């Protein structure tokens, strides 16, 4: 159908010929920029959310229109004939998830036509990822992966590389977006709409909406980008210039024989709007974003009106209008050869001011979505690490054309990065759709977090053994504790040489068993057939990019230490010390609270307090707290009662402290013998709402650290940015939301410091957090709210789980990790252990009979046995591509000056990383691997920054890679992307 319509249009329309009462009217749309005039660049665009109120597929096919009349197929179908009708018309398209759905269905003829439109520049792909990813709740590796996938499709189908970043809808903008997903993918500019209204007002007045953004202190001017925050704070046309068929803007009526002729009035309105915008914009070029969400379902109506505007406005002559694209606009700005103001850091948090009725003091901070839908956020992060490891394994085994491959997971992960997916700002049925797509690509024990893993719950007393293969996706050797639920008790764990190793059995507490029953039946539809009794734990030591096998068998008596719980009821005098190694946590014997953290190894001895509290979400009809917005109305400490009983399990590998904080918060703190951090597993929910209040649950860690309002949070898991409470670098902040306005997104961690000590908290998913009071870190763990916050989703964020005809509020379980260090020593842990959180061991199980002795390959490492990556380098991508070439990304993990030893140039010996294969050819690529890096650098626009000498971008980078030596150098925070060709005669592993 689509193909037929396109063809018909090609045949019937010759040029822009419009029949008016028997005479042809030819609109002159041929202009370009004119010097000396105010140039209005009309950028025709549609913004197509890859899921929000409807699922991605519903948006594509145009179903479920009672929710939202939106059909992306209509947009693309009607666009092509509209562009063919006039070669001056231009359009940009962004979301490859939709474009690829459409492209697959097109005939060869249509494909040929579209290719011509792309090569002539009439249709331009910008941004070019599968979706327009979020910038707060996303991890940088996921942002890179989803962008790479989209760029790869564009390269394959059109042989072009997008030039422009177009993040018009996300709710705040990250430093990583600017320097990695902007400059390092070869973009020449980055456009977006949503920034703090106070920032916007200041920038408008100073004509500083357009800046040169240096997103990374370490990368400096070598990774800077031209960045433009749209003057109106949205990505729509100026008021009165909307032309979807049912929009109420006045169409341009230029037929004098009909009533309501309005050409002069429309031209005047156009000129006024252009001058208004020029007043806050440097130079005589302004951009009009002609489109918005899901527009151009009937593209002709937009283009017909724009044709007329261009014709009559240029005839009028006060300003000059023409069809443009962000690339043309960027080139026009660049050609001015001016210096631009410098911007560093990021654009978080974002706030809007509501001027409804008399309440113009209402500030709505978009900081709730940093935590909204914490279960989906956790799931996305788990699968991110899994996807990284799965691609490594796929590479070792060799990509299998007939499948299974990691492709469906790649697609599901890409879509989940959309700014209404991992953000938690979609409708519930859409959230379910994302989760379903993710689950299709995931194989490991998905319910291990609720101690449900049928593969390990086998009866080993009847002559069976369980082999556990432990895979380490990191480039370093790693030693860490593995925990699995088991049903047998007399267990022996041995390594692949047959040597019995230390292990411990920790009884699974009743609270976990009932959670397990409920959730296992909610997710599998039936009750689990067995009930595990213990968590079996042992320490696995695994080589880099490799695995080790462990064998679990049963014996007469257990070689594994059975842990006996000891409960303290609060009548103990003195403290209760926990921890089998150098780290000791001291709990109060009278109220069971954590009071002290002592690490004998680095002489940290600090008093602290850890607690929970909740905010009541504002229910104000003008601005409630909801999926996007955090608007607290009162904070309430969660009292654990006078005497909280404390149950302690002490074992040779780690101790566990169990605390029932209240009927819906359970906390387990683990202190490992060989680790110097505390691991806190929280289980929060169902959050009660019977008092009619929505609640946002936070945990606080209070110390006496004098951090003087200053704390640090990461940008998408990469660079740490300095945050100062109630302060913004770029303008004088009017503080009106002292809590919500100090919240920042956290993906790796948050830390604060004084003259002697650093406190770091690392997280296992995206959360919001802050330091609201000196010495204190606060992170938001869960939110359940009863009112919609009026940003369009039109649903309260009230997640429930249903099983066996009962529904209850969603329970969330996760971990955070706490460590104190002497000043200047915290980054080693944050960076190295941060990689371990992101890339946990991957476990595989196989049941064997008693006589079985061992696998032929019980242990393996892809690397030379004498080699390991330097402590400051991580492998971000190791992936075999469809054509057999291999994509490799290496990242330096430290910023300039972050660590006294590790913030230095590092080297990687590729011959030793791939010790069993021969590298024939190596090509350095742009970050999204769609062009060679040298080509990207050659094309890169070199912008001038105000106030700085025109020094060229010479910030340190590793040198070129010698194809014989194959040694890669990386400077601090540098990320390098390569395509490798290996010899075809594979060495078999
Ligand atoms: C131009 O901008 C300034 C500063 O924002 C403002 O005061 C003034 O009213 C604006 N003028 C016009 C014509 O919009
Ligand atoms: C805050 O809570 C109080 C009741 O505790 C209520 O009267 C008031 O309307 C709430 N304000 C907002 C903005 O929700």
pLDDT for position 4: 35
- Nearest-CA residue for ligand 1 atom 1 is 279
**Tokens describing residue 848:** 């064997």
Please say whether the beta carbons of 570 and 591 come within 8 A. Answer: yes
Sequence-separated contacts (24+) of 558-561 with Cβ below 8 Å: 558/489, 558/490, 558/491, 558/492, 558/505, 559/491, 559/492, 559/493, 559/500, 559/503, 560/491, 560/492, 560/493, 560/503, 560/504, 560/505, 560/536, 561/502, 561/503, 561/504, 561/505, 561/651, 561/652
Residue 201 alpha carbon, nearest atom of ligand 1? 5
Residue 633 alpha carbon, nearest atom of ligand 2? 1
Distance CA 984, CA 986 (A): 6
Residues near 844 by Cβ (< 8 Å), separated by ≥ 6?
A: 444, 468, 469, 471
Please say whether the beta carbons of 469 and 859 come within 8 A. Answer: no
- Nearest-CA residue for ligand 2 atom 4 is 633
Tell me, using a 6 A CB cutoff, whether residue 279 lines ligand 1: yes
- Nearest-CA residue for ligand 1 atom 7 is 205
Mean pLDDT of 399-423: 92
Cα distances (Å, whole numbers) of residue 208 to 221, 328, 338: 18, 20, 13
Nearest ligand (C-alpha, residue 361): 2
Residue 280 CA, ligand 1 centroid: distance in Å: 7
Residue 204 alpha carbon, nearest atom of ligand 1? 5
pLDDT for 18 beyond 60: no
pLDDT for 29 beyond 50: yes
Closest to 780 (Cα-Cα) out of 814, 822, 810 = 814
Helix ranges restricted to H, 501-650:
510-524
**Tokens describing residue 385:** 């690490």
Distance CA 28, CA 877 (A): 50
**Tokens describing residue 633:** 């109305």
Share of the chain above pLDDT 70, in %: 94
pLDDT for position 15: 43
pLDDT for 854 beyond 80: no
**What are the DSSP E strand ranges found in 21-128?**
23-26, 38-44, 91-93, 123-125
Residue 619 alpha carbon, nearest atom of ligand 2? 14
How buried is residue 23: exposed, middle or buried, by Cβ count under 10 Å (0-12/13-18/19+)?
A: exposed
| Lowest mean pLDDT segment, chosen from 148-162, 333-347, 827-841, 848-862 | 848-862
Mean pLDDT of 334-342: 96
Mean pLDDT of the chain: 92
Residue 622 alpha carbon, nearest atom of ligand 2? 13
Tell me, using a 6 A CB cutoff, whether residue 28 lines ligand 1: no
Residue 666 CA, ligand 2 centroid: distance in Å: 29
Cα distances (Å, whole numbers) of residue 805 to 519, 521, 522, 766, 796: 13, 11, 10, 31, 22
Residue 799 CA, ligand 2 centroid: distance in Å: 23
Mean pLDDT of 639-657: 87
pLDDT for position 358: 52
Distance CA 537, CA 493 (A): 9
**Tokens describing residue 54:** 């409807």
Distance CA 889, CA 893 (A): 12
DSSP letters along 72-95, please? HHHHHHHHHHHHHT-TT--EEE--
Residue 276 alpha carbon, nearest atom of ligand 1? 14
pLDDT for 403 beyond 70: yes
**Tokens describing residue 234:** 């949205």
Print the SS3 string covering 936-982.
HHHHCCCCEECCCCCCCCCCCCCCCCCCCCCEEEECCCCEEEEEEEE
pLDDT for position 356: 57
Please report where in the chains the tokens 């022996």 appear, as a residue.
Answer: 492
pLDDT for position 986: 52
Print the SS3 string covering 351-402.
EEEECCCCCCCEEEECCCCCCCCHHHHHHHHHHHHHHHHHHHHHHHHCCCCC
pLDDT for 669 beyond 70: yes
716-731 tens-digit pLDDT: 999 999 999 999 999 9
The DSSP element (H or E) to which 180 belongs, if any, is none
pLDDT for 644 beyond 90: no
pLDDT for position 401: 78
Largest separation between any pair of C-alpha atoms in the chain: 101
Closest to 545 (Cα-Cα) out of 830, 838, 871, 874 = 874
Mean pLDDT of 791-813: 92
pLDDT for 513 beyond 90: no
Please say whether the beta carbons of 87 and 10 come within 8 A. Answer: no
| Count of C-beta atoms within a 10 Å radius of residue 260 | 9
**Ligand 2 test: best mutation among 618, 622, 625, most atoms within 8 Å of CB?**
618
CA angle 156, 159, 163 (to 5 degrees): 115
Mean pLDDT of 656-683: 96
Tell me, using a 6 A CB cutoff, whether residue 647 lines ligand 1: no
pLDDT for position 447: 75
pLDDT for position 274: 98
Pocket-forming residues, ligand 2, beta carbon under 6 Å: 618-620, 633
Tell me, using a 6 A CB cutoff, whether residue 611 lines ligand 1: no
Tell me, using a 6 A CB cutoff, whether residue 276 lines ligand 1: yes
pLDDT for position 11: 38
Residue 152 CA, ligand 2 centroid: distance in Å: 51
Distance CA 371, CA 365 (A): 13
Residue 618 alpha carbon, nearest atom of ligand 2? 14
**pLDDT range class, residue 1, cuts 50, 70, 90:** very low
pLDDT for 570 beyond 80: no
**Ligand 2 test: best mutation among 362, 619, 634, most atoms within 8 Å of CB?**
619
**Tokens describing residue 591:** 């109220």
Residue 619 CA, ligand 2 centroid: distance in Å: 7
Please say whether the beta carbons of 174 and 227 come within 8 A. Answer: no
Q: What share of the chain is helix, strand, coil (3-state, %, to 5)?
A: 25, 30, 45
**Tokens describing residue 894:** 């430290």
Beta bridge partners of 658: 647, 668
**Tokens describing residue 539:** 């320490």
Residue 888 CA, ligand 1 centroid: distance in Å: 51
Residue 178 CA, ligand 1 centroid: distance in Å: 29
Tell me, using a 6 A CB cutoff, whether residue 669 lines ligand 1: no
- Nearest-CA residue for ligand 1 atom 14 is 276
- Nearest-CA residue for ligand 2 atom 1 is 633
Cα distances (Å, whole numbers) of residue 767 to 137, 422, 626, 763: 7, 11, 15, 8
**Tokens describing residue 755:** 């003259």
Nearest ligand (C-alpha, residue 203): 1
Q: How far is CA 588 from the centre of its chain?
A: 39
Mean pLDDT of 26-42: 95
**pLDDT range class, residue 355, cuts 50, 70, 90:** low
pLDDT for 965 beyond 50: yes
Please say whether the beta carbons of 223 and 179 come within 8 A. Answer: yes
Nearest ligand (C-alpha, residue 201): 1
Nearest ligand (C-alpha, residue 208): 1
Tell me, using a 6 A CB cutoff, whether residue 204 lines ligand 1: yes
Distance CA 560, CA 653 (A): 11
Distance CA 858, CA 865 (A): 15
What is the four-CA torsion angle of 609, 673, 761, 381, rounded to 10 degrees? -130
Please give the DSSP secondary-structure letter assigned to residue 434: H
Residue 64 CA, ligand 2 centroid: distance in Å: 36
Q: How far is CA 66 from the centre of its chain?
A: 30
Task: Reduce the DSSP state of residue 315 to 3 states and report it.
Answer: helix
pLDDT for position 950: 52
Residue 280 alpha carbon, nearest atom of ligand 1? 2
pLDDT for position 2: 34
210-243 tens-digit pLDDT: 999 999 999 999 999 999 999 999 999 999 999 9
pLDDT for position 402: 80
Closest to 815 (Cα-Cα) out of 425, 374, 478 = 374
**Ligand 1 test: best mutation among 38, 208, 279, most atoms within 8 Å of CB?**
279
Closest to 49 (Cα-Cα) out of 95, 93, 99, 104 = 95
Residues near 434 by Cβ (< 8 Å), separated by ≥ 6?
A: 51, 376, 412, 415, 416, 421, 426
pLDDT for position 6: 36
Q: How far is CA 559 from the centre of its chain?
A: 44
How buried is residue 808: exposed, middle or buried, by Cβ count under 10 Å (0-12/13-18/19+)?
A: middle
């Amino acid at each position: 159908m689509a193909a037929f319509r396109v063809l018909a249009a090609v045949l019937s329309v010759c040029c822009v010929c419009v029949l008016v009462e028997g005479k042809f009217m030819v609109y002159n749309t041929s202009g370009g920029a004119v010097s000396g005039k105010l140039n209005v660049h009309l950028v025709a665009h549609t913004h197509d959310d890859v899921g929000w109120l409807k699922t991605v597929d519903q948006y594509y096919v145009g179903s479920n229109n009672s929710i939202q009349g939106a059909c992306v197929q209509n947009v693309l179908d009607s666009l092509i004939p509209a562009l063919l009708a006039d070669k001056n018309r231009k359009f940009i398209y962004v979301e490859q998830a939709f474009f690829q759905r459409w492209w697959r269905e097109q005939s060869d003829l249509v494909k040929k036509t579209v290719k011509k439109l792309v090569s002539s520049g009439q249709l331009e792909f910008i941004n070019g990822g599968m979706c327009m990813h979020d910038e707060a709740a996303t991890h940088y590796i996921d942002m890179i992966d989803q962008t790479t996938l989209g760029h790869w499709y564009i390269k394959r189908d059109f042989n072009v590389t997008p030039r422009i970043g177009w993040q018009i809808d996300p709710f705040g903008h990250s430093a990583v977006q600017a320097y990695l997903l902007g400059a390092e993918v070869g973009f020449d500019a980055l456009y977006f709409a949503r920034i703090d209204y106070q920032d916007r007002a200041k920038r408008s007045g100073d004509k500083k909406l357009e800046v040169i953004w240096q997103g990374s202190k370490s990368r400096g001017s070598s990774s800077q980008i031209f960045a433009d925050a749209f003057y109106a704070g949205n990505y729509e046309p100026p008021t009165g210039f909307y032309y979807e068929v049912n929009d109420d803007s006045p169409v341009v009526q230029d037929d004098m024989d009909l009533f309501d002729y309005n050409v002069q009035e429309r031209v005047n309105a156009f000129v006024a709007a252009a001058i208004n915008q020029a007043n806050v914009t440097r130079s005589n070029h302004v951009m009009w974003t002609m489109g918005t969400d899901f527009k151009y379902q009937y593209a002709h109506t937009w283009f017909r009106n724009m044709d007329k505007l261009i014709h009559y406005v240029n005839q009028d002559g006060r300003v000059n209008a023409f069809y443009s694209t962000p690339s043309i606009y960027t080139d026009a700005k660049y050609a001015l050869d001016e210096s631009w103001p410098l911007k560093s850091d990021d654009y978080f948090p974002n706030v809007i001011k509501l001027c409804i009725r008399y309440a113009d003091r209402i500030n709505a901070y978009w900081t709730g979505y940093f935590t909204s839908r914490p279960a989906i956020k956790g799931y996305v992060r788990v699968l991110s690490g899994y996807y990284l490891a799965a691609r490594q394994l796929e590479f070792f085994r060799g990509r299998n054309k007939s499948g299974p491959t990691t492709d469906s997971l790649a697609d599901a992960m890409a879509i989940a990065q959309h700014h209404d997916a991992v953000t938690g700002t979609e409708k519930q049925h859409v959230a379910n759709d994302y989760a379903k797509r993710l689950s299709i690509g995931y194989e490991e024990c998905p319910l291990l977090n609720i101690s449900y893993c049928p593969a390990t719950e086998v009866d080993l007393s009847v002559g069976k053994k369980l082999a556990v293969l432990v895979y380490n996706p990191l480039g370093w050797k790693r030693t860490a504790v593995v925990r699995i639920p088991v049903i047998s008790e007399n267990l022996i764990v041995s390594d692949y040489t047959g040597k019995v190793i230390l292990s411990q059995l920790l009884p699974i507490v009743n609270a976990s068993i009932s959670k397990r029953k409920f959730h296992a039946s909610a997710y599998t539809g039936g009750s689990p057939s067995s009930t595990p009794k213990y968590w079996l734990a042992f320490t696995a030591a695994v080589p880099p990019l490799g695995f080790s096998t462990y064998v679990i068998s049963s014996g007469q008596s257990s070689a594994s230490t059975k842990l006996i719980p000891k409960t303290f009821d609060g009548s103990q005098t003195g403290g209760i010390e926990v921890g089998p190694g150098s780290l000791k946590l001291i709990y109060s014997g009278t109220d069971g609270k954590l009071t002290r953290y002592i690490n004998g190894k680095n002489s940290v001895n600090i008093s602290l307090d850890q607690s929970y509290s909740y905010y009541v979400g504002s229910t104000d009809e003008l601005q409630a707290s909801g999926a996007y917005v955090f608007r607290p109305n009162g904070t309430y400490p969660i009292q654990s009662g006078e005497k909280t009983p404390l149950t302690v399990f002490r074992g040779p590998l780690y101790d566990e402290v169990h605390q029932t904080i209240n009927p819906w918060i359970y906390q387990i703190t683990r202190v490992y013998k060989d680790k110097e951090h505390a691991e806190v597993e929280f289980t929060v929910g169902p959050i009660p709402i019977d008092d009619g209040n929505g609640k946002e649950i936070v945990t606080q860690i209070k110390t006496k650290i004098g951090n003087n309002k200053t704390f640090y949070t990461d940008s998408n898991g990469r660079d740490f940015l300095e945050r100062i409470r109630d302060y913004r670098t770029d303008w004088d902040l009017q503080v009106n939301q002292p809590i919500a306005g100090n919240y920042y997104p956290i993906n790796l961690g948050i830390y604060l410091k004084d003259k002697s000590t650093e406190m770091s908290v690392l997280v296992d998913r995206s959360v919001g957090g802050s330091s609201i009071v000196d010495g204190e870190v606060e992170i938001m763990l869960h939110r359940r709210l009863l009112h919609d916050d009026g940003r369009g989703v039109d649903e309260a964020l009230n997640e429930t789980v249903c099983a066996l005809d009962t529904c209850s509020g969603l329970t969330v379980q996760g971990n955070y990790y706490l460590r104190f260090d002497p000043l200047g020593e915290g980054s080693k842990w944050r960076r190295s252990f941060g990689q371990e959180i992101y890339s946990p061991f991957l476990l595989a199980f196989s049941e064997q009979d008693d006589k079985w002795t061992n696998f032929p390959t019980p242990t393996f490492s892809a690397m030379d046995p004498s080699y390991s990556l330097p402590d400051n380098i991580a492998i971000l991508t190791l992936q075999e591509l469809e054509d057999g070439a291999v994509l490799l990304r290496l990242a330096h993990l430290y910023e300039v000056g972050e660590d006294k030893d590790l913030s230095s140039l590092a080297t990687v010996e590729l011959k030793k990383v791939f010790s069993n294969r021969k590298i024939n050819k190596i090509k350095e690529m742009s970050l999204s691997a769609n062009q060679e890096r040298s080509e990207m650098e050659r094309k890169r626009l070199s912008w001038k920054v105000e106030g700085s000498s025109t020094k060229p971008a010479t910030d340190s980078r590793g040198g070129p890679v010698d194809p014989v030596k194959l040694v890669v150098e990386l400077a601090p925070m540098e990320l390098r992307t390569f395509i490798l060709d290996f010899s075809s005669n594979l060495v078999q592993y």
